[in-house]
Structure formats: structure tokens, C-alpha cells
Structure 1
């Protein structure tokens, strides 16, 4: 399918597991991609793979999610390069496993800045351009936002706030033709799922696992989340805004 043919879509966190899978899926759907992440040589292989889909060679943009000025500049740079913006995928994020009493003020603020504040800044800057194109925003929350997550209080708190932000923006900009949605992944095979547990942590609280057949380790694949992004960005979801799409293999029910 080419549901996103010619659409200019900005993907943050493009070199991570979910970001990479999403970028490839959107390219297969015909999107013109602006890929954003911290400076990294790992973009070279991704650019080559995307170019092979026939969607053209994506532009690479480096930015710092900890810096609001850098976030504002990212959106401006993408619009300057492409002349328009049709979609924003907020995928960049940070995760840490730490007992709540060991979370310092700086740690807390850093996790909120990356997972929540930078997402708002990028979305705020993108909205005027999305109003012109009739575009939309899809952000990445987490099952942790809905169910909580032991040893990840700051992360879960930021992701929960992201859901409220999404619903508020969806309501405010519905009449302007801008859709705003959020995906809540469950446990996915990724860099985050590979982080070792906190020493002495209760193993039953670390990570829920799906009992769906075909998932031997109980974890989803980044491609499962990428499919959600492709759907929400497309006109197939033209009547969907303010939605919280949970993709977790029923992990939250077990």
C-alpha cells in the first residue's frame, strides 16, 4: 500500500528500534521522510535501506531533545528543506530502571524533558504547518502510562502526561483539521527491554509478557508498533483523533 504517498513526515528517535522500524514502514507507504536523532553514524545503514524502498533518500537532521531551542529549530529546518510538513512521529524517548528513592531531581527532570517537554515543543512548533497541510501528530506513550511500572516512576509519569497532552491537543485542534493521537506500546524487543533490572527487584514487577501464540518471549516486534504509526498517519484513520492505541498483545490484561 502507498497510503502516505508524497507526505512529508518527521520521525524523531529514528535510530532506535521503534523509530527505525517506523521509518522503514512509512517509506514503504510512500512517505518522504525527515529522520531526526542525536548525531549518530547508525543513520547510514537506515538511509540506504529506506532508499531501496523507492521512496527516495531521506534527509537526516540532528537535534538534542534536552534543548528546547534545538527542538524548535528541528521543525523549522524540516519545513525549510521540504517546504511543508504532513506528519510528526514523536518517538524519541529515554528510559531508566531505578528505585524511586534513588531518582534524583536532575534524573527526574531529564526524563520529563526528553519524554514529555520535548514532545510538546516539537508538536507546538509543528501544528501551524500541519494546519496548512491537514496533517497529524502521532506520539509514543507506553503501557506504563496506563498501568504504572515499578522501578520506572519518572518514565511512567511522563508518558501518562503525554496521553493527557494528546487528548487536549486533539480537542483544541479538531476544528482546524489536525488529528493528534498516541500509541501505547507494551513490552517490545528493543534497547529498552534489554536494560538489566534493578538489583534486588521483584521479578514479577519487572515486565509483563504476552501469552499470544507466535511470541515465544512474550514481547512484540518494533514492526508491530510501526504498523500502528502507518495506520494513524494515513487517511484510514481520518475519523480518529485523541485516541490511545494500545499495542501490547494483552500484556496489560495479564
Structure 2
């Protein structure tokens, strides 16, 4: 019989990349609210310090894709807390163009932001995570399962994160490290807000809210997620409550992935 005493996250030491905004900030808030120690990593000082002031997390200014910086983060975490239990690989962005309009720098930037950040931080955290029998939670995207228009670098990077999740889970499960991925759909974050503003302008919509309503109009739940909803899933995967899960890909998209695209026209026709 499995005992779930201590299945919460109180006392765990958690590193969150891209912790200054959106999903990363919400994950930080959730873990801190339940008594975890959280280190938030990112390149921009202002948003990290704002989240730190609000939650009591420890900000560390670093590029998660840089091996030397990632090693320094892990060393600082171990010096400060003596352990590392959970890595939330959340950093991402870039790559919003089709292949024919993506130059070499744009391609490298997209893969660095969406894939190399997770790979590098995972590699540098693995020794501490093996010692703690810890968890890695990789934040991919619905773009890791399907292709949207004109987002080549982002789509490829997010697809690759699922491969990274599976190979980490396969190779390090025997060492006690569990690795799972989350694929959110539209989430109401600052990055998505910017996309909605641009979409509203191009589509002649009156507001950001109209844009969100339009892009989620064929989603069964009919709305975007709030960052806290994704944070709840991350918290579950970063706790012993998910103790027999590894290599899993959890989709949190309001049901978008179950929709048969060719039948949407029937809904629009009122059939």
C-alpha cells in the first residue's frame, strides 16, 4: 500500500526558469504558498525581483541556456539550501515566423530559448535531483503536439521538449528522477496578451478579450486558461502525489486537442 504522508511540497527546494512572468510566476506563487523554497531564474532583473518581492522567492539573474550560468545557479542553490528537489523548465519564447522567413540567427534563438534552456538546466541539475530523488517538470505547449501557422522555431522547439522529457524519463527513472511535461493551450499571460493585441488589430476586433474569445471559440471549454490553473498541474507533478508518473505528457488546453478540425464547419453551420 502506498503511503502519501508528506506528499505535499512544503520544504521542497524548487528552481523555476522563466520565473518572472506568466506561468513561471504562477508556479512560483503556488509552490511558495505551500511552503516550498523557490529560486526563480531569468535574464530580466525587474520581473524576477517583482515576483520575489511578492512571493518571497529567491531571484537569480542568469541565462538558463548558458552552461556556466546554469552551473552557478545550481551551486548557489545547493550552498543556500543544501538540496534541490524540483526543476520546472519553463523558459521559452521566440520563433514566430515560417521556415522561409526564419534566418539562421532566428532559428538558433528559437531553439536556444525553447529547448536549450531546458536541456542545459536539466543536465546541470541532474546530480542534485538524483540525490534527492526529485522531479523535472518541462513546460512544452500545445505547439509541441500540433503546428500553428508561421511559428516554425517555436513549434519545433516545443516538439523537441517532449522528446527531451521522454529521454530524461527513460534514462534517469532508475535513479529516482521523474520527468513529465505539460502542454498548455492558450494561457492568459503577458506573452499571449501581446499576441492577442496583434491579432485583434489584424482581424479588426475591438479588444484583447474579443481576440481571446475568437481563438478559443472552437475549444470545448471556450476560454483561455489562467496561469494558476497550469501551476496546479505543475505542483501535482512536482509532488509525491504523482509518484508513479514519469515520461507523461499532460495536455491542458481546454479540450482543444480533442476537436476534429474538419467537423468545425458543422458547428458553425448550426448542425
TM-score, length basis structure 2 = 0.82
- Give 1:19's aligned residue: 24
Q: 1:75, 1:30 → 2: CA distance?
A: 20
Q: 1:36, 1:7 → 2: CA distance?
A: 17
After superposition, the C-alpha distances for 1:112-170 in whole angstroms (9 at most, x for unaligned) are 01111121111011111011111110011110111112111111101111101111110
| 1:1-254 pair list within 5 angstroms | 3-50=8-55, 57-193=56-192, 194-195=194-195, 196-197=198-199, 207=215, 209=217, 211-213=219-221, 218-254=223-259
After superposition, the C-alpha distances for 1:13-56 in whole angstroms (9 at most, x for unaligned) are 11121011110011112211111111322334322332xxxxxx
- Please tell me whether Structure 1 or Structure 2 has the larger radius of gyration of its CA atoms: 2
Q: 1:39 to 1:209 in 2, by over 3 A?
A: same
**What is the SS of the residue equivalent to 1:118?**
helix
Query: Hey, which of these two has a bigger chunk of helix by percent?
Result: 2
Q: 1:34, 1:2 → 2: CA distance?
A: 21
Q: Is the 8 A contact 2:220 2:256 kept in 1?
A: no
Measured after TM superposition, the shift of residue 250 of structure 1 is: 0.7
Aligned residues: 242
Compute the RMSD of aligned alpha carbons.
2.4
- Runs of 4 or more, structure 1, over 3 Å off, are 197-201, 206-213
Q: Is the 8 A contact 2:142 2:183 kept in 1?
A: yes
Measured after TM superposition, the shift of residue 199 of structure 1 is: 9.7
Listed as ranges, the gaps of 5+ residues in structure 1 are 51-56
Q: Is the 8 A contact 1:66 1:110 kept in 2?
A: no
TM-score, length basis structure 1 = 0.88
After the TM superposition, which of the residue ranges 33-42 and 102-111 deviates more from structure 2? Answer: 33-42
